[in-house]
């Protein structure tokens, strides 16, 4: 579904390349995590996919078409909820639809449906200040769903939450992913989170990186916390941590 | 209410000190006491409130409305286009280096003793804080929010209407709270320099008669009007922008 073909990129203000001739792909309906240390270029990959940055060389393809020729192909969920404090929850959810010109009547129906799905229908007329951190992230996720794209780019969406809420949100996200059937590219620096959520994990090790090592995660659904205690999963997690640590020591 | 108790106490103390000093000096043509000023306002209430206050408020409101329109227009075009911003910004700053009291008589020369010379002085003083503060408001929007809208396919216009305008609203109210007293000062200065009515003009006339309390009376009326207006704007602001602290 998504394919990076020989993508080379560097920020104008930097004197080093983030990636050179990068190739990788994500299949339709997959949940893929990108892990790596801070500043390694995880977010840059999302910025390239959603068009906020342009590659110096190479191309990014979705279903074989260059993203420059496409519209509304991906929806981005940032680290912070970025809800507009002057808009109610419903009006916040409407933002992507207003931009895409969805008729008002349909907007309300879609908001009600998605809020029902994320369990926040009672908060439809509330303001972001009335919601907890976890609830706000759920609204932010709902807004990303309403952007109506098949690919969702999630940039460390749970990093600001406390550990218990975070666990709840991870389990919740898995259910939502199965329900909506989207392709998710998820960024995290938490190896456990990546292993718990994903079908596959891409490890970013070098800079500039050319290839990302893809590690497949054994399938299991529904997943519970017990999944993380399986001996093969514990070993896999340790292996990933070791790889990331080795990279840091080399640096 | 509790918050304003210290300022009320301080004001009362200052007025008491003023009263004592004025009574000791016993020269009301130089320093009238607060009580003498209040008495004077009461004596002159007819002429102050039915002739001169409406004249000053006419100049103030006209100047303020034009300043708001001009200030918003300049802030918007500077935000929309970097070239316009780099051309306009220095000129706007330079406009504030013009000593208004020196140039005001020139306006009287150009536009006569009618309302427009005074409105122009008011605009010259008032449009600046509106332009700069609202412009800062537009620039204060979070880059991440702007980028999020861009990922939804938002145009420049979408970003302006959905993000920049609401984000700049608190700044707009701050600007108006600054602009109201400034527009009153501007109108009073203009009337002081050349007018046939208005509280500034009245204050000047009282000075030629060495009537200290008469000079102060319109000044006090203007201050009270400014405070009341700023208070009303504050109430509207609190009702409209409950989310201010969350930005």
Kindly write down the DSSP assignment for every residue of chain B, as one continuous string.
Answer: -GGGHHHHHHHHHHHHHHHHHHHHH--TTTS--HHHHHHHHHHTHHHIIIIIHHHHHHHHHHHHHHHHHHHHHHHHHHHH-HHHHHHHHHHHHHHTTS-HHHHHHHHHHHHTTSHHHHHHHHHHHHHHHHHHHHHHHHHTS-HHHHHHHHHTT--HHHHIIIIIHHHHHHHHHHHHHHHHHHHHHHHHHHHHHS-SSSHHHHHHHHHHTT-HHHHHHHHHHHHHHHHHHHHHHHHHHHHH-TTGGG-
How many domains is chain B built from? Answer: 1
Q: What is the mean pLDDT of chain A?
A: 88
Q: Which of A208 and A5 is assigned the larger pLDDT?
A: A5
Q: Which of A222 and B222 is assigned the larger pLDDT?
A: B222
Examine residue B22 and state whether it is found in any structural domain, yes or no: no
**Minimal Cβ distance to B247: which of A85, A95, A96:** A85
What does the pLDDT average to over B157-175? Answer: 93
Which uninterrupted H or E stretch holds A243?
Answer: helix A231-250
What are A's interface residues with B at a Cβ cutoff of 8 A? 50-52, 71-72, 74-76, 78, 80, 82, 84-86, 95-96, 98-100, 127-129, 147
Size of interface A-B (CB pairs under 8 A): 52
pLDDT the model gives residue B247: 59
pLDDT the model gives residue A246: 75
Query: Over 70: is that where the pLDDT of A250 sits?
Result: no
pLDDT the model gives residue A247: 66
Examine residue B17 and state whether it is found in any structural domain, yes or no: no
pLDDT the model gives residue B246: 64
pLDDT the model gives residue B193: 80
Predicted TM-score (pTM) of this structure: 0.81
3-state DSSP call for residue A62? strand
Predicted interface score ipTM higher than 0.90 = no
What is the band of B109 on the pLDDT scale with cuts at 50, 70, 90?
confident
What is the band of B216 on the pLDDT scale with cuts at 50, 70, 90?
very high
B contacts of A99 (beta carbons < 8 Å): 149, 152-154, 158, 162
Q: Is the dihedral of CA A75, A78, A83, A89 positive or negative?
A: positive
What does the pLDDT average to over B162-176? Answer: 93
Cα nearest neighbour of B165 on chain A = A86
B contacts of A127 (beta carbons < 8 Å): 242-243
Please give the share of chain A, as a percent, with pLDDT higher than 70: 97
Examine residue B111 and state whether it is found in any structural domain, yes or no: yes
Which of B152, B172, B240 is the best substitution to test chain A (most A C-beta atoms within 10 A)?
Answer: B152
Q: Is any Cβ of chain A less than 8 angstroms from the Cβ of B241?
A: yes
Q: Which range among A103-112, B48-57, B72-81, B105-114 shows the weakest confidence by mean pLDDT?
A: B105-114
Query: Over 70: is that where the pLDDT of B5 sits?
Result: yes
Q: Which whole-number Å values give the CA distances from A140 to A14, A85, A193, B52, B223, in the listed order?
A: 31, 13, 19, 57, 48
What does the pLDDT average to over A214-230? Answer: 82
What does the pLDDT average to over B133-162? Answer: 92
**Minimal Cβ distance to A71: which of B142, B153, B163:** B153
CB hemisphere CA count around A42 (13 angstroms):
25
Cα nearest neighbour of A140 on chain B = B148
Examine residue B156 and state whether it is found in any structural domain, yes or no: yes
Query: Over 90: is that where the pLDDT of B39 sits?
Result: yes
pLDDT the model gives residue B217: 93
What does the pLDDT average to over B3-11? Answer: 90
Q: For the domain that residue B187 is a member of, what is the CATH number?
A: 1.10.3720.10
**Minimal Cβ distance to B162: which of A50, A75, A95:** A95
Examine residue B6 and state whether it is found in any structural domain, yes or no: no
pLDDT the model gives residue B1: 66
Cα nearest neighbour of B170 on chain A = A86
Cα nearest neighbour of B167 on chain A = A86
pLDDT the model gives residue B68: 96
pLDDT the model gives residue B190: 87
Q: Which range among A236-240, B134-138, B219-223 shows the weakest confidence by mean pLDDT?
A: A236-240
Interface of B with A in 6-65 (CB under 8 A): none
What is the band of B245 on the pLDDT scale with cuts at 50, 70, 90?
low
Examine residue B94 and state whether it is found in any structural domain, yes or no: yes
Cβ contact, residue pair B151, A71, below 8 Å: no
pLDDT the model gives residue A251: 60
What are the structure tokens assigned to B139, written together? 């620039």
Peptide bond just before A238 cis, omega within 30 deg: no
Q: What is the DSSP letter of A125?
A: T
Q: Which whole-number Å values give the CA distances from B61 to B73, B179, B180, B187, in the listed order?
A: 18, 11, 9, 9
Cβ contact, residue pair A80, B241, below 8 Å: no
Examine residue B59 and state whether it is found in any structural domain, yes or no: yes
Cβ contact, residue pair B144, A78, below 8 Å: yes
What is the band of A33 on the pLDDT scale with cuts at 50, 70, 90?
very high
Which of A68, A70, A80, A86 is the best substitution to test chain B (most B C-beta atoms within 10 A)?
Answer: A86
- Cβ B95 vs Cβ B123: under 8 Å: no
Residue A233 to chain B, least CA–CA distance (Å): 35
Q: Radius of gyration of chain B from Cα atoms?
A: 22
Cα nearest neighbour of B142 on chain A = A82
A contacts of B152 (beta carbons < 8 Å): 75, 95-96, 99-100, 147
Within 8 A by CB and 6+ apart from A107, the residues are A94, A97, A98
pLDDT tens-digit readout, A155-182: 998 887 788 888 888 888 888 888 888 8
Q: Domain residues for B91?
A: 34-246
Which of B167, B156, B151, B145 has its CA nearest to residue A86? Answer: B167
Query: Over 70: is that where the pLDDT of B162 sits?
Result: yes
Q: Is the dihedral of CA A80, A85, A88, A94 positive or negative?
A: negative
**Minimal Cβ distance to A82: which of B144, B150, B154:** B144
**Minimal Cβ distance to A85: which of B148, B149, B246:** B246
Which of B157, B146, B156, B150 has its CA nearest to residue A72? Answer: B150
B contacts of A91 (beta carbons < 8 Å): none
Query: Over 70: is that where the pLDDT of A248 sits?
Result: no
Q: What is the length of chain A?
A: 251
pLDDT the model gives residue A207: 75
Examine residue B3 and state whether it is found in any structural domain, yes or no: no
A contacts of B149 (beta carbons < 8 Å): 95, 99
pLDDT tens-digit readout, A44-66: 999 999 989 999 999 999 998 99
């Amino acid at each position: 579904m998504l394919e990076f073909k020989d993508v080379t990129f560097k920020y104008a203000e930097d004197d080093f390349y983030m990636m050179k001739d990068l190739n990788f792909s994500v299949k339709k309906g997959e949940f893929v995590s990108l892990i790596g240390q801070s500043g390694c270029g995880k977010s840059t990959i999302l910025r390239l996919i959603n068009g906020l940055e342009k590659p110096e060389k190479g191309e990014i393809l979705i279903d074989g078409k260059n993203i420059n020729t496409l519209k509304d192909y991906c929806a981005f969920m940032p680290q912070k909820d970025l809800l507009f404090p002057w808009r109610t929850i419903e009006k916040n959810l409407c933002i992507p639809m207003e931009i895409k010109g969805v008729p008002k009547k349909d907007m309300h129906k879609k908001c009600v449906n998605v809020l029902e799905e994320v369990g926040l229908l009672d908060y439809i007329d509330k303001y972001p200040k009335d919601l907890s951190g976890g609830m706000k992230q759920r609204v932010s996720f709902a807004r990303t769903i309403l952007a109506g794209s098949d690919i969702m780019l999630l940039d460390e969406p749970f990093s600001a939450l406390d550990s218990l809420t975070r666990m709840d949100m991870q389990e919740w996200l898995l259910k939502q992913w199965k329900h909506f059937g989207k392709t998710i590219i998820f960024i995290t620096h938490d190896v456990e989170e990546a292993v718990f959520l994903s079908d596959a994990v891409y490890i970013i090790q070098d800079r500039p990186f050319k290839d990302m090592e893809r590690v497949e995660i054994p399938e299991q659904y529904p997943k519970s916390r017990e999944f993380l205690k399986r001996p093969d999963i514990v070993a896999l997690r340790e292996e990933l941590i070791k790889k990331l640590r080795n990279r840091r020591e080399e640096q | 209410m509790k918050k304003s108790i210290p300022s009320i106490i301080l004001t009362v103390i200052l007025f008491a000190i003023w009263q004592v000093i004025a009574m000791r000096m016993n020269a009301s043509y130089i320093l009238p006491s607060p009580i003498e000023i209040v008495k004077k306002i009461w004596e002159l209430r007819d002429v102050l409130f039915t002739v001169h206050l409406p004249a000053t408020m006419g100049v103030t409101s006209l100047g303020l409305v034009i300043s708001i329109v001009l200030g918003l227009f300049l802030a918007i075009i500077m935000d929309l286009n970097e070239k316009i911003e780099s051309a306009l910004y220095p000129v706007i700053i330079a406009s504030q280096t013009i000593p208004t009291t020196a140039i005001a008589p020139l306006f009287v020369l150009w536009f006569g003793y009618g309302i427009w010379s005074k409105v122009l002085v008011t605009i010259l003083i008032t449009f600046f804080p509106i332009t700069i503060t609202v412009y800062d408001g537009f620039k204060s929007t979070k880059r991440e929010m702007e980028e999020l809208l861009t990922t939804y396919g938002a145009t420049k216009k979408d970003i302006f209407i959905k993000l920049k305008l609401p984000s700049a609203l608190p700044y707009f109210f701050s600007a108006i709270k600054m602009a109201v007293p400034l527009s009153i000062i501007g109108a009073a200065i203009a009337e002081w320099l050349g007018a046939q009515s208005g509280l500034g003009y009245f204050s000047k006339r009282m000075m030629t008669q060495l009537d200290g309390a008469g000079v102060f009376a319109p000044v006090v009326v203007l201050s009270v009007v400014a405070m009341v207006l700023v208070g009303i704007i504050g109430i509207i602001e609190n009702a409209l922008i409950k989310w201010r602290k969350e930005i």
